[in-house]
Amino acid sequence: MSSFSAPKGTYDLIPPDSAAFLAVREALSAPLRRAGYGYVETPGFEHVELFSRGVGESTDIVTKEMYTLTTKGGDRLALRPEGTASVLRAALQANLHRAGGLPVKLWYSGTYYRYERPQAGRYRHFSQVGAEAIGVEDPAVDAELIILAADAYRSLGLGGVRLLLNSLGDRACRPGYRAVLQDFLRGLDLDEETRARIEINPLRVLDDKRPEVQRQLAGAPMMRDHMCEACKEYHERVRELVDAAGVAFTDDPRLVRGLDYYTRTTFEFVHDGLGAQSAVGGGGRYDGLSEMIGGPPLPSVGWALGVDRTVLALRAEGVDLDLPAATDVFAVPLGEEAGRRVFALVTELRRAGVAADLAYGGRSVKAAMRLANRSGARYALVAGERDLAAGVAQLKDLESGEQEAVALDAVVTELTRRLG
């Protein structure tokens, strides 16, 4: 055993659990690839200012949860706490918005870092699949992304995921609502830190999960009562398109989410089987973010879905994923010459697309067959000196127990036929 362990609030992803995480990543990203989203990968760290400007200096992510460091050259960097700002920065740096038609449609997958109090379903590093549609203000783009996320959850067999939907208005109507909300919040019994937040970004107070705060917010003014006609029409169009696609949702006028850059469409996917930390993913429109980080006006929308939390939701529902077998064929060579020939057969099987492994280290037949059964393989391929002399190998069906001799030069053809 090592004298080191994973840092507090982190975890190691190892087999067999890692197979489920890979399958979830594939399922969450598959609808995006079919919808024309291209893959983007950004560095694990960025300049601190990218997040303080984009995510918001008043957010807990920036003020409390961001891992920061100073390089030998004096640059202040941060481990990325979220993906949108990095992806938009990369798109602007590469001038993707000038390369062709808009929107620029990108998807990504990676690990993100926040210094939080570790608890069930919330760690200091976490995995997400995300998508961004950059450069177009169109309700159809918002609806497209919401539908793609809902389809991804459905493909995994999740039935308990609920969609919450809201609009946060825009630059035209948000200032008026902000002033009304501030007046209301200033009259509440709140701690000093929360009162300071009222002056910076009062909408963030609505996102406060503490029961003593939520009780006081019961009569808070709602954005929907202060939206301009343009925002009302935009939001209604999003609702119509999502509903027409058969995606159920609940209007949640209190839905804010924890990032400052959101405008208009805001949404969250939740699962009641996860307790207090019920969100499995979410996103929204961020029409002003490009300008916040020094780019041109580029209205955009996106989301991020938690891989870790989706796996927890699957476990909460008792959903077993149909995972591909790690090993279809497990080979057992008996003797030095058999080891060379069987190794060559295993290589041929792998090149033919068959998942194959073999017993290393000159194990006994009994020990090697235990490994074969433990591997989950469908077939065991056994060959000793007598088999080689006869030009055959023994093929054993590990489910039925039936065994037969197969010519060595027909092994690959026979196994690929049986495994389809």
Structural domains for the chain:
17-173+227-317 (3.30.930.10), 329-419 (3.40.50.800)
Encoding tokens for residue 108?
Answer: 């990504």
For residues 106-128, give the mean pLDDT: 88
The mean per-residue pLDDT over the stretch 306-335 comes to: 92
Say yes or no to pLDDT of 245 above 90: yes
- Is the model's pLDDT at 59 over the cut of 70? no
Please enumerate in sequence order all residues whose Cβ is within 8 A of that of 246, keeping only pairs 6 or more positions apart, or say none: none
Predicted confidence (pLDDT) at residue 258 exceeds the cutoff of 80: no
Q: Could you give the C-alpha distances from 104 to 30, 79, 88, 301, in angstroms and in order?
A: 18, 25, 10, 11
Task: State how far the alpha carbon of 171 is from the alpha carbons of 177, 263, 288, 363, in Å.
Answer: 11, 8, 9, 71
Residue list, annotated binding site: 82-84, 114, 128, 132, 257, 261-262
The pLDDT of residue 365 is 87
pLDDT for the residue numbered 113: 93
pLDDT of res. 311? 94
Q: Residue 278: is its pLDDT beyond 90? A: no
The two structure tokens encoding residue 132: 């961004």
Q: 56: pLDDT confidence band, cut at 50, 70 and 90?
A: low
Checking if the pLDDT of 58 tops 70, the result is no
Determine if the peptide bond prior to 81 is cis (ω within 30°): no
Q: For residue range 147-201, what is the model confidence (pLDDT) as tens digits?
A: 999 999 999 999 999 999 999 999 889 888 889 999 999 999 888 888 888 888 8
pLDDT class of 117 with cuts at 50, 70, 90 = confident
What does each C-alpha distance from 52 to 66, 220, 234, 260 come to in angstroms?
10, 28, 29, 10
407 DSSP β-pair partners: 392
Q: Which residues are annotated as a binding site for L-histidine?
A: 82-84, 114, 128, 132, 257, 261-262
> What are the angstrom distances between the C-alpha of 47 and each of 79, 134, 221?
9, 21, 37
- Region 193-213: mean pLDDT is 84
- As a whole number of Å, the end-to-end CA separation of the chain is 42
CA–chain centroid gap for 377, Å, is 30
Q: What order do you get walking across the sheet with 45-47 strand by strand?
A: 45-47, 76-79, 68-70
43: pLDDT strictly greater than 90: yes
110-116-118-123 Cα dihedral, nearest 10 degrees: 0
Tell me if 303 sits within 8 A of 326, measured CB to CB.
no
